[in-house]
């Protein structure tokens, strides 16, 4: 098989491409910053973050994404430990076969003074050149189990004894078509 035919097969087979997304749970006391996206038929939340770009290391990607979405300089935050890894293999609508995505969720802590300087909205660029506005919402982490949060880390987050609690296993359950429906 030639490289060209191998590449064309990969572009048509679901989950044959792998993307990595860095995200962060940014805590200020018991509250955590989440991006709320209001759509015509749904509302959902995500931790601030995004895809790692070619040539970027994970820390650079996290730094860039949190600067873009929250106006946060991660050097002013405490922590930065990897909390969870979520393996996503979910079919989604659209002409392009879905990639397999690894979500790396880090944890940071900030002061109320720093929180007061952060963005209240996030502009996510769409493929057509437009923007989707996300609202930065601070939520008590213990109430996240009931939120439509993706990746679905809400139950694990809400189960923490406190925002700095140790995590026994960084690998959360995989998100697949068997346990998740794309919204």
Query: So what's the pLDDT on residue 11?
Result: 60
Structure tokens at 119: 């963005």
Q: Where are the alpha helices (DSSP H) in the chain?
A: 3-12, 58-70, 112-115, 154-158
What superfamily in CATH does domain 13-167 come from? Nucleoside Triphosphate Pyrophosphohydrolase (3.90.79.10)
Q: In which element (H, E) is residue 139 found?
A: strand 131-140
pTM of the predicted structure, to 2 decimals: 0.88
SS3 67: helix
Structure tokens at 69: 């979405």
Whether 146 and 154 have beta carbons less than 8 Å apart is answered as: yes
For the chain, give the mean pLDDT.
90
For 42-92, write each residue's pLDDT tens digit. 899 999 999 999 999 999 999 999 999 999 999 999 999 999 999 999 887
């Amino acid at each position: 098989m030639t490289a060209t035919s191998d590449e064309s097969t990969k572009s048509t087979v679901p989950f044959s491409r792998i993307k990595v997304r860095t995200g962060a749970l940014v805590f200020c006391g018991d509250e955590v910053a989440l991006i709320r996206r209001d759509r015509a038929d749904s509302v959902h939340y995500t931790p601030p973050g995004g895809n790692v770009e070619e040539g970027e290391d994970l820390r650079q990607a996290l730094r860039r994404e949190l600067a873009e979405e929250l106006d946060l300089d991660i050097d002013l935050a405490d922590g930065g430990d990897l909390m969870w890894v979520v393996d996503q293999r979910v079919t989604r609508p659209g002409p392009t076969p879905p990639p397999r995505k690894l979500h790396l969720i880090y944890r940071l802590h900030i002061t109320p003074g720093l929180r007061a300087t952060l963005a209240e909205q996030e502009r996510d660029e769409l493929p057509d050149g437009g923007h989707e506005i996300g609202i930065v919402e601070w939520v008590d982490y213990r109430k996240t189990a009931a939120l439509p949060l993706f990746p679905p880390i809400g139950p694990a987050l809400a189960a923490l004894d406190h925002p700095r609690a140790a995590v026994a296993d960084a690998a959360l359950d995989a998100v697949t078509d068997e346990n998740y429906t794309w919204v």
